[in-house]
Amino acid sequence: MAKGVVGCGLGLLVSLVAASRIDARADSETFVLLIGIAGIAYIAALSAVSRGLRSRRLLAVCLLLAVSWRVAIIPAAPLVSDDVYRYLWDGRVQRFGYNPYESTPNDPELAHLHGESTRRIDPSSAALPTIYPPAAELFFRTVNSLSDSVTALVVAVVVCDLFTILLLWYWLTTTGRSPWWVLAYAWHPLVAIEGAGGGHIDLVGTFLVVAAGFALSRHRSLIAASVFAAAVAVKFLPIVLTPLFWKRVNLRDGVAALGLVGLVYLPFLDTGFSLPVGSLGTYLASWRFNGPIFSILAPRIGVLTVSVLAVTVGLVVAAVGRKTMTVDDPSAWAWPMAASLLLMPVVYPWYLVWLTPFLITRRVWPLTAWTLVSVLTYVVWSSQLAGTGWVLPDWVVAVEYGLIVVVALWVWSRGTERAQALQ
| 20 or 125, higher pLDDT | 20
pLDDT at 197: 97
pLDDT at 269: 80
pLDDT tens digits along 338-393 = 999 999 999 999 999 999 999 988 789 999 999 999 999 999 887 766 566 778 88
> Residue 45: pLDDT above 90?
yes
| 66 or 410, higher pLDDT | 66
* Mean pLDDT of the region 42-59: 88
Max Cα-Cα span within the chain? 73
pLDDT tens digits along 130-158 = 999 999 999 999 999 999 999 999 999 99
Percent of the chain at pLDDT > 90 equals 76
Q: Count of CB atoms within 10 A of residue 251's CB?
A: 9
CA–CA separation, 408 vs 403, rounded Å? 8
> Residue 416: pLDDT above 70?
no
Alpha-carbon separation of residue 55 from 5, 52, 58, 232, 237 (angstroms): 12, 10, 5, 37, 37
Backbone φ and ψ of 291, nearest 5°: -125, 70
* Mean pLDDT of the region 18-34: 93
pLDDT at 285: 75
pLDDT at 418: 52
pLDDT at 387: 61
pLDDT tens digits along 68-111 = 999 999 999 999 999 999 999 999 999 999 999 989 999 999 99
Q: How many domains does the chain have?
A: 1
* Residue in 215, 230, 223, 221 with CA at minimum distance from that of residue 260: 230
pLDDT tens digits along 190-222 = 999 999 999 999 999 999 999 999 999 999 999
272, 281 Cβ separation under 8 angstroms = no
Domain that includes residue 368, residue range = 2-422
Residue 35: Cβ-neighbour burial (10 angstroms; 0-12, 13-18, 19+): buried
pLDDT at 419: 41
pLDDT at 423: 41
CA–CA separation, 8 vs 48, rounded Å? 10
> Residue 422: pLDDT above 50?
no
